[in-house]
Amino acid sequence: MLNRRRFLSLLAFLPWGFPTAVSAARRLVALRQSVNEQRNRIVLEFDGKIELKRKFAIDNPPRYVLDIKQARVSKSVPSSPRFDRNGIVEDLRSSVSRDGTLRLVLDLKRLAPTEIGKWLTPDGKRDRIVVDFLGSFAVPKSSRKPSVSSKKPSSRGSAPSTLSRRRPLIVMIDPGHGGKDPGAVGKGRTREKDVVLSISRKLHKLLKADPRIRPYLTRNRDVFLRLHRRTQIARSKEADLFVSVHADAARRRSARGASVYAVSTRGSSSSHARWLADRENAADLKGGVEISGRDPGVQDVLLSMSRGAVQEYSLHAGEYMVNSLGRVGKMHSKRVERAGFAVLKSPDIPSILVETGFISNVYEEKLLRSSKHQGRIALALRSGIRNYFSKVPEYS
């Protein structure tokens, strides 16, 4: 009896498509792969925009299947690609159905948690399907290379990654503004960029004393950083959490209290959240036009469509921050607000933005200038971070 696996293998030797479907079909033109200690990544690049119809895993034997509407495989892609022996993928097979649907079958050594996203290429004209098989992979030291983090939470709500117990948890602390961008300025001429750098340094020192956590700062001096550069730094360190520190401002001078924000792609949770996000996102304009162009990897991040579960874990982290900050002083909002902050739009790192108080409020401006109050805020942020990590099973 011919089983399904054998049947698909035979289909792979048939012509790539049928005359009625091929004329409008997109082509799979490149296949790339990489393996590090935490994931086996497969990148499938097409020559245009594609529609991913279905994706599912099958056991006995283990394999992962993708169905792409109106597509075929280019002759430039080997019919039997060689896969890294340290990874989980053994082979790639393909077939095209009568309606023009391309079926790609990745034969696996075993089933593993799988994350998948469809990303645009830097020119915005072509699609890539990125499949990450998560787990523990024994990569020889000689073949280890620095790589961009691929810890994308699954749409089913799993944790951001299966973390290696051998490395500490990485927190990227991002002091807002800096350099030619002072941020909000209080009535007493207190500059947001100075206050948040001081708080961030205190938080960095506190977290550094925890052996389970390795903190980094996006900036440790008065320097201007574009928003995408902050995200890029976090990704280069494979951060498990991104915390952007700010001091709020409002048109209403009586507004006061701390707030915590997570990113939203569907609009803001309040008019103030929308106004604030617009103001923060405009910070890049202070640096003028960037001539060099962005790193393609960062463009992939900004254009990525796979952010759903990261937003969920960002909200979890934000809730712990709200609880901790509420013990220090007044909260402007007792829930995690949502807005379209560009600096929080990483698809694979839970990210939050903390407004430590209103620098536009005369009373809170004085508090924010106080080293003692800054220390209390830093302690609250450390508590929120530690509580978040302790409540997620993969971290604890």
Residue 149 is assigned to a structural domain of this protein: no
**Does 362 lie in the same domain as 231?**
yes
pLDDT, tens only, 275-295: 444 444 444 433 433 323 334
Residue 279 is assigned to a structural domain of this protein: yes
**Does 218 lie in the same domain as 98?**
no
pLDDT band at 124 (very low <50, low <70, confident <90, very high): low
**Does 254 lie in the same domain as 356?**
yes
**Does 386 lie in the same domain as 295?**
yes
Residue 160 is assigned to a structural domain of this protein: no
pLDDT, tens only, 304-336: 434 555 777 788 889 999 999 999 888 988 888
Give CA–CA dist 234/384, Å, rounded: 19
Contacts 24+ apart (CB under 8 A), 48-56: 48/125, 48/126, 48/127, 49/125, 49/126, 49/127, 50/26, 50/118, 50/127, 50/129, 52/118, 52/129, 53/101, 55/116
Residue 157 is assigned to a structural domain of this protein: no
Return the number of other C-beta atoms located less than 10 Å from residue 223's C-beta. Answer: 12
**Does 246 lie in the same domain as 117?**
no
User: What is the per-residue pLDDT for 196?
Assistant: 95
Residue 158 CB-half CA count within 13 A: 15
Residue 121 is assigned to a structural domain of this protein: yes
**Does 122 lie in the same domain as 176?**
no
Residue 153 is assigned to a structural domain of this protein: no
What Å distances lie between residue 66 and 44, 94, 103, CA to CA?
11, 10, 6
**Does 108 lie in the same domain as 188?**
no
User: What is the per-residue pLDDT for 392?
Assistant: 61
The residue range of the domain holding 294 is: 169-391
Residue 337 is assigned to a structural domain of this protein: yes
Nearest Cα to Cα of residue 364 among 260, 276, 256: 256
**Does 327 lie in the same domain as 247?**
yes
User: What is the per-residue pLDDT for 284?
Assistant: 41
Give me the number of domains the chain comprises: 2
Q: Which of 4-18, 55-69, 78-92, 258-272 is modeled with the greatest confidence? A: 55-69
**Does 376 lie in the same domain as 234?**
yes
**Does 182 lie in the same domain as 280?**
yes
User: What is the per-residue pLDDT for 378?
Assistant: 96
Q: Is the pTM of this model over 0.75?
A: no
Range from 121-130, 188-197, 322-331 carrying the lowest mean pLDDT: 121-130
Domain CATH number, residue 15: 2.60.40.3500
Domain CATH number, residue 318: 3.40.630.40
Give CA–CA dist 295/273, Å, rounded: 29
pLDDT band at 15 (very low <50, low <70, confident <90, very high): very low
Decide if 320 contacts 244 (C-beta within 8 A): no
**Does 191 lie in the same domain as 112?**
no
Give CA–CA dist 148/304, Å, rounded: 14
**Does 200 lie in the same domain as 57?**
no
- 136 has a pLDDT exceeding 50: yes
Residue 148 is assigned to a structural domain of this protein: no
Decide if 183 contacts 226 (C-beta within 8 A): no
